[in-house]
Each structure stands twice: as structure tokens, then as C-alpha cells.
Amino acid sequence: MSKPLAASKKVMKNYLSELLTDEPIVIEQIADSPKGIKDKSRVEALLKNVNADLDVAPHEITTHKSLVLPPHFIKEEFAPSENSGQLKQQSEAMLTTQKSHGNNLISPPKSYRQGDFQALFFNVAGLTLAVPLIELGGIHNVDKITSLMGKPNWFKGVMLHRSEKINVVDTALWVMPEKYDETLKNSLNYQYIIMLNNSPWGLMAENLVDTVVLKQDEVKWLDSPSKRPWLAGLVKDKMCALLDIEALIALLNEGSGINQFD
């Protein structure tokens, strides 16, 4: 095995390990995080100042319930104190903290999340990626790609296919920009364009590997909000990424690179 190839494989192995160890951002983590603990203790300290016996379990404090208490309830049940205004302000502040996680909304379940489904596997720069077949828009051979100025570097250009204009993505550059150097660029031999659903976006691929029927438990699904919304899950057997096409299209439409959540 040549040294560059071995190095490339090592890089890919590390990359996949990173993907597998990537922990999704779970909302509940907030309460357990150092900031969450700090917030919780701050709330507890504030509640001590309220002139009433309040029996609230700690885990309830961080929920929305504690923030949506009707104003009349607070007025009637608790004697007004100097700190009540401060408590309200603190509650609102906590609400805005929750809002900062708005980008990580859970999308509705995909059609391929029930029963067996087929996926197409393809290679890019030694990395294998998979697309659920139901979200595959088509496969074209790479033809002349017209580059457009002022576009992100991963936007390879526009390829004409009959009357269709395809926005071509340099997949290697989009998926692993940090590993994309001149050597990798020169080694790429893109041959196919994998069309994403009904969108004009197409991912460049070097080789088409196979179409495989996958069972639900053969994939480690990343259902929780993740900093990699384009990643639907990881195919355990092949140790490869299964793309979330819908999220990927949304990112491409925004002109966002892969690291927008980093």
C-alpha cells in the first residue's frame, strides 16, 4: 500500500470515529451542564427569597412550566416582595437561553424511518456515503461544469443536463473542508452526480458502490438535534454516513458550509 493511500485511509478512519463519537446536542443536557447547574442554583437562591413555602422539585424548575405560571397565580399565592420583579426578569432571561437552541428543532420523521429501506452507497475521496434511495433524484455522468464567480468554494458550478441546470457540489470539499488540500484535490476523480431528491443540487461522486436494503437497527440514527443536521445516521456495518437529504438541501440552499454549527 502506498504511503499517501495509507495516510488517506487513516484520515478517513479518524473522520468516521469523530462522527461516531459525536454526541448530539440534547436539550435535557442543559440542566446537567455546568451552566445548567449554575442556572438551577441561581433559581433556587431566588426562590428562597420568595415569602412562601414552595415545594418545587429541582427538575421542575428548568422546565417551561415554571416559566408559564399565570401572573395572577404568582400574585395571589406569593406575597409580593422586592425580589419578585427580579425573579420575573431572571425567568425571562432563562427563557432566552432556551431560545438559543432554536436551530436544533427535531424535524418530522422521514419515510425511510419505518421498516426496511434501500440506500445507495457511493465513494468520495475514500469516504463512503449513503443516500436513502427514496430521496435520490437521479444519477448523471459528470459533464462540463460551468463555474460561476462569487460562489462558495464548494459550489463547483452549474452542469447542463438536457434542459435542466444542476448545481454541482464538490462533495469532498463540503463534507471535509479541513482535510481538503491540494493533494486530495488532485487525487479526486469525480465521475457521477448524485441528485438530491427533486432539488437542483447534485453531489459529485467518484464511484457508485452498491444499493443495499437496510434494516432500521443497522443504522445508528441521530434523531436528536445534532450539530451535523445533514447526517441522518451511521450505517453500522459499513461504518459510513447516511445523509439526511432534506437537511442537506436546506443547508445548500442557504449557501451554508458543513461547519455552520461548529
Inter-CA distances, 159 with 2, 123, 175, Å: 34, 20, 20
Minimum CB separation from another protein for residue 134, in Å? 25
- Using CB under 8 A, pick the residue from 112, 155, 190, 192 that binds another protein: 155
User: Taking a C-beta distance cutoff of 8 angstroms, is the pair 97, 90 a contact?
Assistant: no
Which backbone phi and psi does 92 adopt, to 5 degrees?
A: -65, -40
Q: Is 165 in the site for another protein (CB under 8 A)?
A: yes
Q: Is 67 in the site for another protein (CB under 8 A)?
A: no
Nearer to another protein, 9 or 165 (CB): 165
Size of the chain in residues = 262
Nearer to another protein, 24 or 152 (CB): 152
Q: Is 41 in the site for another protein (CB under 8 A)?
A: no
Nearest-angstrom CA–CA distance, 121 and 219: 14
Question: Cβ neighbours of residue 116 under 8 Å, at least 6 residues apart?
Answer: 213, 214, 215, 216
Minimum CB separation from another protein for residue 11, in Å? 28
Measured CA angle at 241 (ends 127, 125), to 5 deg? 15
Q: Is 158 in the site for another protein (CB under 8 A)?
A: yes
Q: Are strands 207-214 and 117-124 parallel, antiparallel or unpaired?
A: antiparallel
Q: Is 147 in the site for another protein (CB under 8 A)?
A: yes
Q: Is 144 in the site for another protein (CB under 8 A)?
A: yes
- Using CB under 8 A, pick the residue from 76, 182, 254, 262 that binds another protein: 254
Q: Is 86 in the site for another protein (CB under 8 A)?
A: no
Nearest-angstrom CA–CA distance, 40 and 58: 8
Inter-CA distances, 81 with 47, 133, 230, Å: 11, 62, 49
Nearer to another protein, 126 or 200 (CB): 200
Q: Is 199 in the site for another protein (CB under 8 A)?
A: no
Nearer to another protein, 112 or 201 (CB): 201
Q: Is 163 in the site for another protein (CB under 8 A)?
A: yes
Q: Which residues contact another protein (rule: CB under 8 A)?
A: 144, 146-152, 155, 158, 160, 163, 165, 167, 200, 252-255
